[in-house]
Amino acid sequence: MSKQNQISRRLVLVPCPYEGHLNPMLQLGTVLHSKGFSITIAHTIYNSPNPHNLPDFSFLPFPDGLSDHDLASSDVVAHILTINDNCKKTFERRIEQLMEEKRLQGEIISCIISDELMSFAEDAANNLKLPSIILRTTSAATTFARCRLVTIKEEGGIPFPFQGPFSHDLVPGLHPLRFKDLPFSPSPDFERFVRLIAIAYNKRTSSAIIWNTMTCLEQSTLDQVQQQSEVPVFPIGPIYKMAAANICSGLIKDDRSCLSWLDKQPHNSVIYVSSLGSLASIGEREVSEIASGLANSEQRFLWVIRPDSIRSSHWIELLPKGFQDVVGDKGCIVRWAPQREVLAHPAVGGFWSHCGWNSTLESITEGVPMICKPWFSDQRVNARYVSHVWRVGLELEELEREEIERVVRRLMLDDEGKEMRERAKELKEKIEVSTREGGSSCNYLDELINFIMLI
């Protein structure tokens, strides 16, 4: 981009206010900033990103209308619908003011890039005659699975939720997904989920779609997406690898002391356990099964226990008595880890994950094989792809101590685990090629930049 363009073009990025959505949007911001654009992050008051982590960006908070009553519920789907209902007008006014302010400073706003779940931003862009682009933060396979889930429900042939023997049957047209792998929402209200799907996937007016995935992982699904899409699709993932700096939302402070603990452990000897991600929670029985399974496996582990993720406790009060004495310095527990650095550490030989899309991408990108225990939504689809398409992970079916011990040992000690580690390394190399100059994600990024310059 020429010098003149560098100072004159600004992009407004609108993330959905959850860790798994904020991170890729902020990472996209650093990628686009490195290409010469000025970046404004327009964000809800709820879960505001920490501006100190992101000195190159401007921030534009807008009221989200979420009440204490709304936030007392853990129903994320309901929160997102409320944000969409509440924000359109205020957001539009803020952007209008920003446009005027920037115009006086000789800058133009080129477009609004919004998370697929923040559709009010696209409506506002339309009213303001600004182009808009969608960022998709889940896999391409998830898109088809979500839409199929809604049609299966509408056809009414199959009782929800899918339980019993037929839940292991393959869903026609969605190989290798079984009914139990469909991306059920954590929300108890299916109608809300259908509204959310409509927000994300109904015919949109945006000029393009940016996707945090890549052709070397999802070639055939992306081919289908491209055929069906009326606008260009830019799969530029893994976006964090395309970014010059290691960016994160700062919603939870990470504990970097675990990196020096990892420095003292042998190569490939540690299983990194972050089995809940940023949203899921468990009870005392489950935490006791995990703790016992890990201890009995006799493997070294680094375990992330997010504050308040064990119900009825603040942090690790409900761990079995004496657990830390039993494992001694073979185990390290932290509230939140610098995950991408942990996965890139040579001591880490496996990742027990809930299979959120970011965690899945990060594990594959760093060449670490996985144990998959999804909880809800797209995590189920990702887990199935990890274990049955890319074959770099084992599924943990039951959260029982014997099963956990067995699966951890299979991954960390058995030949099966070594083969997965080999395949994970091969995938890592493919992703490295794709993010280098001339590689697929890199080429799509160049095309995206040219596209934005022309809209």
Q: Which residues bind ligand UDX (CB under 6 A)?
A: 18-21, 23, 138, 248, 254, 274, 277-279, 304, 336-337, 339-340, 356-359, 362, 377-379
Choice between 18 and 179, CB closer to ligand UDX: 18
CB of 2 to ligand UDX, least distance (A): 34
Those residues whose C-beta lies under 8 Å from the C-beta of residue 17, and which sit 6 or more positions away, are 43, 44, 46, 47, 48, 64, 83
CB of 280 to ligand UDX, least distance (A): 7
* Cβ atoms of residues 342 and 263 within 8 Å: no
Angle at 31 between CA 28 and CA 32, to 5 degrees: 90
CB of 252 to ligand UDX, least distance (A): 7
Distance between CA atoms of residues 395 and 374, nearest Å: 9
Choice between 102 and 354, CB closer to ligand UDX: 354
* Cβ atoms of residues 254 and 336 within 8 Å: yes
Within 10 A of 426 (CB to CB), how many other CB atoms are there? 12
* Cβ atoms of residues 382 and 393 within 8 Å: no
Q: Which candidate, 357, 345, 365, places its Cα nearest to that of 300?
A: 345
Choice between 23 and 40, CB closer to ligand UDX: 23
Q: What b/e string do you get for 152-169 counting C-beta neighbours within 10 Å, with b at 16 or more?
A: bbeeeeeeeebeeeeeee
CB of 271 to ligand UDX, least distance (A): 14
CB of 240 to ligand UDX, least distance (A): 7
CB of 72 to ligand UDX, least distance (A): 20
Choice between 356 and 417, CB closer to ligand UDX: 356
**Residue 399: helix, strand or coil by DSSP?**
coil
CB of 275 to ligand UDX, least distance (A): 10
Choice between 86 and 358, CB closer to ligand UDX: 358
Q: What b/e string do you get for 73-88 counting C-beta neighbours within 10 Å, with b at 16 or more?
A: eebbbbbbbbbbebbb
Q: How far apart are the first and last CA of the chain?
A: 15
CB of 36 to ligand UDX, least distance (A): 26
Choice between 95 and 113, CB closer to ligand UDX: 113
Choice between 344 and 433, CB closer to ligand UDX: 344
Which ranges constitute the DSSP H helices of 160-214? Answer: 190-201
Choice between 80 and 121, CB closer to ligand UDX: 80
Choice between 185 and 265, CB closer to ligand UDX: 185
CB of 26 to ligand UDX, least distance (A): 10
* Cβ atoms of residues 49 and 41 within 8 Å: yes
Task: Output Rg (C-alpha) for the chain, integer angstroms.
Answer: 22
Choice between 14 and 98, CB closer to ligand UDX: 14
CB of 437 to ligand UDX, least distance (A): 25
Q: How far is CA 127 from CA 88, 97, 120, 324, in A?
A: 10, 14, 11, 58
What DSSP element (H or E) covers 352?
strand 348-353
Q: How far is CA 48 from CA 19, 64, 111, 368, 437, in A?
A: 10, 11, 22, 31, 34
CB of 6 to ligand UDX, least distance (A): 29
Choice between 124 and 248, CB closer to ligand UDX: 248
Choice between 225 and 342, CB closer to ligand UDX: 342
308 residue type, one letter? D
Those residues whose C-beta lies under 8 Å from the C-beta of residue 115, and which sit 6 or more positions away, are 14, 15, 16, 21, 25, 134, 135, 137
CB of 145 to ligand UDX, least distance (A): 12
Q: How many residues does the chain have?
A: 455
